[in-house]
Every structure is written in C-alpha cells, then in structure tokens.
C-alpha cells in the first residue's frame, strides 16, 4: 500500500505493472493474471480488459458473444431466425447492452462495426474460418482470413484461431497458430484458441467425448493459448487406451460438473482461462443448466453465439441477463 502526495491519510493499492490507468483490478483477476508469468505487460493488460469488462468484470467469469457463424454455416442458417443479425452492427451492440465480456468476429464484421466497438467492448479478431461448402472431412481445416496487424489496427484485445485436433490437417494448424500467436505477443495481444476435435478417425460421438475434449483443451494450453474455447463434453470415452486410464484411476465423469472439472484440470490444473461453447440453438433451460455446471465445475464461463443472436433482441437480452446472474452466483 502507498500514500499519494496530497492525499495524506488515504491509501491506494499499487496497480499491476503495465495496467495502470485502465482499471483497478480485483483480487481474483490478479490471481488469474499471475498464471501468465511469461507475458509482457501489454498482453496482460489486454487480458485484464476482457476480465474486467461488463457485468461480470472482476469475477473471473466471462460471457463472450462470438459471431463467426456466417462463415461456418452461411447467412440464412445463421441470421434468418432473427433478421436483425444480418447487420454486423447488431451483434456488438447486443453484447454491449447485455454487459458481456467481449465480442468475437472475423475481419469483415469487426471492420463494419468498428464505430460501435471502439472503446465500448473488448474485441477478439477471429483469424481463420471454414465454410460448410467445403468437401473436407478427414482433413478438416480452416483458411487464415485475417492478420495480427488487422487486430492491431482495429484495437482488438485478442486474436482467435480454430484448431481441429484429430484432423489430418492439424499439424499445419498448429504451426500457423504458433507463428500468429508469437506475432500477437510481440504486439501485446492475447490469443484465444477454439479447440474443436474433428476429422481423421474420430467418430461423431468422439468429437464430444470427455477424454477427447480434455485432450483438446490440453493441446490448446500446450500451444500457448491465453483463453481456451472447447465444447461441453459428454461422458463418452473415445480412445481405447485413455478409457483404460479413466477406469483404472476412477476419474469422475458421471456429471457435467465432473467433466468440466476434468477439462479445467487438463488445462494446466486450472491455470488457463477456459470458456465453453454454447453450440446450436436449444431451449433456455438447457442453456442455464449448462451454465450452472460450468460455474460449479470451476469453468470460466460461456462463449455463446447462436443461442443469443438467433433469438429476438429482447429475448436475447433476457437470456443473457439470466446467464450473467448464474455466473454471479445469484441463481
């Protein structure tokens, strides 16, 4: 503690190095940032921007709105249910009005909505994308569609990148994110890795198997991700050798809360921020049940796209309000 000149008798907590003038960090956010020992002050500041933003600011919990589904699924499948979503300015304004932690999108939408996001909400520039017209299956892959310099120009707090563990193309993806994340760190920008098992010999059930999802989260951590995005795992076990270990070591996977705990343990024993994907549009009760399991399992929150922006704006705001309240421990 220190006393500032002219303010005798009042004490002020010394700010984190490199994060002065942004916000007063909470104890929880300081604990999280301490897990990123090698990062420079600018990268830690950008992580702090995300962790301190919105109604969950300072809690260590996050709700992020990602809108890259236009690439992945096409415009009608993404936005026809709520036509306001065809406008790229709609989504970041929804995230701002709901008090969310960050907004993630590819290059075009972030450029089109730059006047909405600037100074209003941290952004994540998604640097690679796939599309549903591709014939790739075993070799599931994505094209790099943006650059770190685009992220710098747009004032993004982080870059985002998808890897497909299991795909025949995964090694090229690992090399791409190694180069992009190294460049991002030079500019003080954080890295978010979407780690989605797909392709190769994986079965459809295997894409969500708890052993595979935990492995995917661990690989994202190994690749240097600051924030890891994975899907919620089922209790299915895909890999025969892994199944033996889960059974012999009695690893608890019976409930979704158990499985979230295991994914967090696999992410450097909880030393990395992990958010869980909301997936396809589903009923509100399922969204809230998932959030409670994520919270109770020690996860850092939700990254929820279609379950928010495919609903009418007022319905989406009600859903997001309740989601935030769950992560605040109020429900």
pLDDT single digits (tens) 105-143: 999 999 999 999 999 999 999 999 999 888 888 899 999
- Which pLDDT value is given to residue 274? 98
Q: Decide if 213 contacts 297 (C-beta within 8 A).
A: no
Nearest to 269 by CA among 224, 233, 232, 217: 217
Q: CB-based contacts of 71: which residues, under 8 Å, 6+ apart?
A: 106, 129, 130, 131, 145
Nearest to 326 by CA among 71, 135, 63, 139: 63
Q: In this structure, what DSSP letter does residue 199 have?
A: S
- Which pLDDT value is given to residue 12? 32
pLDDT single digits (tens) 43-90: 999 999 999 999 999 999 999 999 999 998 999 999 999 999 999 999
Q: Decide if 202 contacts 166 (C-beta within 8 A).
A: yes
Q: Decide if 304 contacts 259 (C-beta within 8 A).
A: no
Q: In this structure, what DSSP letter does residue 12 have?
A: B
Q: Are strands 143-144 and 128-129 parallel, antiparallel or unpaired?
A: antiparallel
Q: Which CATH class is domain 60-327?
A: alpha beta
pLDDT single digits (tens) 22-37: 568 999 999 999 999 9
Q: In this structure, what DSSP letter does residue 271 have?
A: T
Q: Where are the domains positioned within the chain?
A: 60-327
Q: In this structure, what DSSP letter does residue 2 have?
A: B
Q: Reply yes or no on whether 61 is catalytic.
A: no
pLDDT single digits (tens) 214-253: 999 999 999 999 999 999 999 999 999 999 999 999 999 9
Give DSSP secondary structure letters for 135-155. Answer: --STT---EE---HHHHHHTT
Distance CA 154, CA 141 (A): 26
Token pair recorded at residue 248 = 């012999």
| SS3 call for 49 | helix
Reported as a pLDDT band with limits 50, 70 and 90, residue 281 is: confident
- Which pLDDT value is given to residue 257? 98
Q: Annotated catalytic residue: which of 61, 185, 229, 261?
A: 229
């Amino acid at each position: 503690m220190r006393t500032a000149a002219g303010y005798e008798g009042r004490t002020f907590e010394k700010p984190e190095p490199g994060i002065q003038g942004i916000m007063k960090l909470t104890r929880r956010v300081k604990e999280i940032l301490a897990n990123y020992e090698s990062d420079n002050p600018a990268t830690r500041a950008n992580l702090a921007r995300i962790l301190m933003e919105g109604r969950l600011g300072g809690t260590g919990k996050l709700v992020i709105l990602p809108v890259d589904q236009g690439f992945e699924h096409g415009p009608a499948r993404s936005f026809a249910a709520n036509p306001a979503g065809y406008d790229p300015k709609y989504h970041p304004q929804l995230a701002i009005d709901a008090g969310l932690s960050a907004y993630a999108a590819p290059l075009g939408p972030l450029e089109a909505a730059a006047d909405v996001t600037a100074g209003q909400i941290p952004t994540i520039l998604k640097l690679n994308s796939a599309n549903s017209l591709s014939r790739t299956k075993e070799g599931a892959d994505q094209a790099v569609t943006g650059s770190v310099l685009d992220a710098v120009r747009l004032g993004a707090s982080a870059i985002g990148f998808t890897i497909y563990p299991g795909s025949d193309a995964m090694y090229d993806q690992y090399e791409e994110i190694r180069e992009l994340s190294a460049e991002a760190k030079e500019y003080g920008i954080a890295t978010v890795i979407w780690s989605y098992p797909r392709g190769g010999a994986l079965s459809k059930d295997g894409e969500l198997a708890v052993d595979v999802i935990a492995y995917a989260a661990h690989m994202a951590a190994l690749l240097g991700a600051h924030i890891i995005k994975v899907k919620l795992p089922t209790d299915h076990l895909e890999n025969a050798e892994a199944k033996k270990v889960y059974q012999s070591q009695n690893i608890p996977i019976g409930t979704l809360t158990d499985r979230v705990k295991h994914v967090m343990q696999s992410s450097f024993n909880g030393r990395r921020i992990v958010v869980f994907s909301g997936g396809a549009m589903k009923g509100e009760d399922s969204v809230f049940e998932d959030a409670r399991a994520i919270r109770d399992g020690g996860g850092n929150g939700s990254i929820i796209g279609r379950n928010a922006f495919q609903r009418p704006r007022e319905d989406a705001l009600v859903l997001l309000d309740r989601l935030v309240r769950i992560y605040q421990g109020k429900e």
